[in-house]
Structure 1
Amino acid sequence: MNLKIGDAIGDYKIVAVLGAGGMGQVYKVQNTLSHRMEAMKIVLPSLLESPEQSERFLREIRLQASLDHPNIATLHTALRQEDQILMVMELVEGTSLQALLEKRPLSAQEAVGFTLQALSALAYAHEHGIVHRDIKPANIMLTREGAVKLMDFGIARLVQDRKLTVSGATIGSLFYMSPEQILGNADIDHRSDLYSLGVTLYECVTGQRPFQGESDYVILSAHLSQAPPAPRDVKPDIPEDLNRVILKSLAKNRDERYQSAQEFHDDLQKFSGLSDSAVSPKPLGASDFLATQPMQSIIQPAPAAAQDSSAGLEMAFVLFMDIVGYSKLPMDLQSKYITQLVNIVKDTAEYRRAAQNDQIISLPTGDGMALVFFQNPVAPIQCATEISR
């Protein structure tokens, strides 16, 4: 569905195009009855390929529409148009936390204040049985008054169900995924959100992510098996108690993390060493909003080829690898065997050749990994032969 400024959909008129990405197109619209400005997201049909997916997504929409919290972007309504689902949401005028981090470092007061607001929103959502699944700076909007608005509740499940997606939504999330998400566990719960927010808080107070690397699998493996550098080792002026709170939120074993958003919130507020007035929302500076767009974080960037309608199609050749009996293994052994598999694969000549020529995408599949090769149809066979040796 290609819309342009001035087009009408039911009672909504297109005012501006806010962007297009891996999950859909987003427009600024005006309700012609109430004259209220809102945001409209048109979800890509490829994300709703079966009746089961569509119905599950509609259930997620109903859940999100039931949420009413000052730190959660409100979903006003949803409708169908030409076999597509349209979501009409609160228009948040502001910038994303990701955009702000790219502009300047945050003070400890700002970092803690934003996190406390996000935790308040998560506590409310979790109490209503909703897990976000994609907490990251790009999904945390900041208004001009310094208020946090969490975006896209429930939407991430739809993307994560497609194991081989290479949309920006998935790739951009690798730095913030919990170990249980990376392992493909079926019983993801609210503690996964707390881990992802812990990663976000770490980045806000130190200016860097806890796990970095040159490839997706280096980052994913670090989430599974490496202890993060202590925040105080990166930035020595961080209070010891705040250092402890952040590290607890990043525990590999979810039973060792904070067990609720409220517990995380209370500890962070108590041990940050900052007064209530210091972390209360404060208006952001005018420079923080230069060259930004409303709702810029409600969408995720699509791959370059997907954004260019004139781009040609390219054949891909896929190699799947599963670890037999993986789901029955303890988490520490799951992590160990995934790491071993990654190391074996990356040591093959075919993998190194394809990586050097930018002709491969490597992705997790829960109980193993998938390699997507380009240009060489026999590459998966050659790689599999090397691995089997």
Structure 2
Amino acid sequence: MNSQELLQMYQAGQSEAATAIFDRYVARLIALARSRIGAKLGRRVDAEDIVQSAYRSFFVHASGDEYQLKEAGDLWRLLASITLNKLYGQIEKHTAAKRSIRHEDPTDLAIAAARTPEPSAEEVVAIIEELHTVIRELPPEERMVLTASLQGQENPEISKSINRSERTVRRLLANARRKIEQRLLPGDTTDNASSISEVAYETPLLYSDYVLEQLLGSGGMGKVFRARVKGTKQKVAIKSLHKARQSDRRAVTQFVKEAQLLTGLYHANIVRVEGLGQFPGGGYFMVMDYVEGIDLQVQLEVKPFSIKAGVDIVINVTDAIGYAHDNGIIHCDLKPGNILQDKDSTIRVTDFGFAFLIADGASTIGNSIGGTAGYIAPEIMSRQSLPTPATDIYSLGVLLWTLITGRLPEKPFTICSGDDEFAAIASIVKRCLSDDPKKRYQTIPELQQELMALQ
């Protein structure tokens, strides 16, 4: 299907066209944005945020029939133009506002976190996939009414088209929206500031003991700063929620749970968390090891890893994840961006934001269940079961394949290489990626044994 047809379908109200447009160009747009970002701005300007902002602008204007395509390639040129305009605006803003975070001002982090960035491309894909799943599972009438409402039809118009009363239409819409909220926002969705104050967490770390020095990165949930312990040269990393997230009870609970889980973990391949603190103006932060290095996604964008390097990395990751499993914790979001390699080439697993706690042999939800599209096990994506060790084993298979090939495994996954060593890798990955969790490796040691045999 060409780009003109896709745009016409979207303007006609067919939501699946938006997904097709996003999937077709997102990777190229991110690559385009990254190619225009210099090394100095690489940590402050996120290409994925820029592309997501560009898509948002495009879809808003496209829904109003503001765009008309005349020939093949016009949609790519249009999206590229919007993306570059967004990018250059951000570069100009960061260049003009460039400064060093050196003064010991308690309000400094609050000011720096005042603007919440758009969600990343991966997060948007995950949300779209989840939303499609929910809508498909709605009863026919609810699905029909919701679709009509999303296309801009008013309740009286919908009422006439389905020959039902407006009261029935309102009831069907309320039911559909409630089911979507329950699915996309599991647990308590109260997000007013007064509800946050009802829960008080222990915060033994004092903000006054640290001096912020540099913003290291920003994502959909929060920011990470390099800091030093006041009066010393010791470097640490401070992670905080975006200001807009600090009044979201679910986000705060998830953030605090991550800090509490990691404070009790001590492993050479896991980024250690020292504990939880609270800013003078409210809002929580956690203090972590400062890792001088880069994440594997950054390296992967240069070139894939060799088979030996990829296997060695995953063995180190399995050491960390096996230790977490022994302590009743499922990571649930293993991907190259959540694995760091420091200046000594030590592998460190980080970001347990979606970690799932298994207590007393029974699964209990400690956080919202989530992850990153492409790396999430199918039973978690479809909500058919709660996370288990097999959930992380699925992600480890995706991780191994991605590291050595530079791309996500295709589905259905097939072994077609004539190279014996590559075929052995593919065989391990294929078992990890089984749709049936019982057909995967059942424990981390079982997977490790296969990987070590390759060494």
Q: 1:238 to 1:39 in 2, by over 3 A?
A: same
What is the rounded CA distance, in whole Å, between the counterparts of 2:429 and 2:447 in structure 1?
9
* 1:241 Cα deviation after fit: 3.1
The answer to whether the 8 A contact 1:47-1:159 is kept is no
For 1:147-162, list aligned pairs within 5 A.
Answer: 147-155=346-354, 161=368
In 1: Cα distance, 2:438 partner to 2:369 partner: 27
8 Å CA contact 2:303, 2:406 repeated in 1:
no
Tell me if structure 2 keeps the 8 A contact 1:210–1:229: no
Equivalent position of 2:30 in the other structure: none
Offset, 1:177: 1.2
- Alpha-carbon distance between aligned partners in 2 of 1:154 and 1:102, rounded to the nearest angstrom: 24
1:6 corresponds to: 102
Among 307, 326, 332, which residue is 1:108 paired with? Answer: 307
CA contact (8 A) 2:216 2:225 kept: yes
Matches within 5 A, 1:127-146: 127-146=326-345
Q: How does 1:65-80 map to 2 (within 5 A)?
A: 65-80=263-278
Structure 2: how far apart are the matches of 1:136 and 1:259?
A: 20
Counterpart residue identity of residue 129, structure 1: G
Match of 2:153 in 1: none
SS of residue in 2 equivalent to 1:73: coil
Q: Distance in 2 between matches of 1:31 and 1:103?
A: 34
Give the structure 2 partner of residue 188 of structure 1: 387
Kindly provide the amino acid, as one letter, of the partner of residue 414 in structure 2: P
Task: Tell me how far apart the structure 1 counterparts of residues 238 and 390 of structure 2 sit (CA, whole Å).
Answer: 30
Q: Deviations over 1:298-317 (max 9, x none)?
A: xxxxxxxxxxxxxxxxxxxx
Structure 2 counterpart of 1:298: none
Question: Cα gap change, 1:56/1:139 in structure 2, threshold over 3 Å: closer, same or farther?
Answer: closer
Q: 1:156/1:83 Cα in 2 relative to 1: closer, same or farther (>3 Å)?
A: farther
**Corresponding position: 1:89 with 2:274:** no
CA contact (8 A) 1:4 1:14 kept: no
Cα 1:101–1:160 change in 2 (3 A) is farther
Secondary structure class of the residue paired with 2:409: coil
Unaligned runs of 5+ in 1: 164-169, 212-225, 275-389
The one-letter amino acid paired with 1:254 is P
Counterpart in the other structure of 1:203: 402
**1:28 equivalenced with 2:226 (yes/no):** yes
Tell me the amino acid that sits aligned with residue 89 of structure 1. Answer: M
Deviation for aligned residue 1:161: 3.3
Deviation at 1:183, TM superposition (A): 0.7
State the Cα distance separating 1:92 from its structure 2 match: 0.8
Instruction: Count residues with an aligned counterpart.
Output: 247
TM-score of the pair, normalised by structure 2? 0.50
Residue 368 of structure 2 aligns to which amino acid in structure 1? Answer: D
Shift of residue 26, structure 1, vs aligned partner: 1.2
Q: Is the CA contact (8 Å cut-off) linking 2:296 and 2:339 kept in structure 1?
A: yes
The answer to whether the aligner puts 1:250 opposite 2:346 as a matched pair is no
Report deviation, 1:41: 0.8
Q: Where do 5+ consecutive residues of structure 2 fail to align? A: 1-98, 105-206, 357-364
Higher deviation after alignment, 136-145 or 49-58: 49-58
For residues 313-340 of structure 1, the C-alpha deviation after alignment (integer angstroms, 9 at most, x for no partner) is xxxxxxxxxxxxxxxxxxxxxxxxxxxx
* Contact 1:210-1:228 at 8 Å conserved across structures: yes
Q: How does 1:337-356 map to 2 (within 5 A)?
A: none
Task: Work out the percentage of aligned pairs sharing the same amino acid.
Answer: 28
The answer to whether structure 1 residue 229 and structure 2 residue 417 are counterparts is: no
Q: Report the structure number with the largest CA radius of gyration.
A: 2
1:323 is aligned to none
Structure 2 partner of 1:367: none
Deviations along 1:10-29, one digit per CA (max 9) or x if unpaired, are 11111111122211111110
- Note the C-alpha offset of 1:201: 0.3
* Structure 2 letter corresponding to 1:179: P
Instruction: Report deviation, 1:103.
Output: 0.8
CA distance 1:160–1:183, change in 2 (3 Å): farther
Q: Per residue, is there more strand in 1 or in 2?
A: 1
Q: 1:179 to 1:26 in 2, by over 3 A?
A: same
- Structure 2 CA distance, aligned partners of 1:43 and 1:185? 30
Matches within 5 A, 1:165-314: 173-211=372-410, 226-230=411-415, 232-233=416-417, 236=419, 238-270=421-453, 272=454, 274=455
The CA deviation at 1:207 is 3.0
Residue number in structure 2 paired with 1:291: none
Q: Return the offset for 1:57.
A: 4.1
Deviations 1:85-135 (A, max 9, x none): 101111111111111111122111100000000000000001001111110
Point out which structure has higher relative CO (alpha carbons under 8 A, 6+ apart).
Answer: 1
State the alpha-carbon separation in 2 of the partners of residues 52 and 240 from structure 1. 44
Structure whose residues are more often helix by fraction: 2
Aligned amino acid, residue 245 of structure 1: I
SS of the aligned residue for 1:67 comes to coil
Paired with 1:138 and 1:52, the residues of 2 have a C-alpha distance of: 23
Determine the structure 2 residue equivalent to 1:353. Answer: none
Distance 1:191 1:7, change over 3 A: farther
Distance (Å, rounded) in 1 between the aligned partners of 2:446 and 2:273: 27
CA shift in 2, pair 1:198/1:86, >3 Å: same
Alpha-carbon distance in 2 for matches of 1:205, 1:28: 31
Sort the Cα spacing of 1:78 and 1:7 in 2 relative to 1 into closer, same or farther, 3 A.
farther
Conserved? CA contact 1:4–1:17, under 8 Å? no
Q: Would the alpha carbon gap of residues 191 and 141 (structure 1) be closer, same or farther in structure 2, given more than 3 Å must change?
A: same
Question: Are residues 1:126 and 2:325 paired?
Answer: yes
Return the offset for 1:50. 5.3
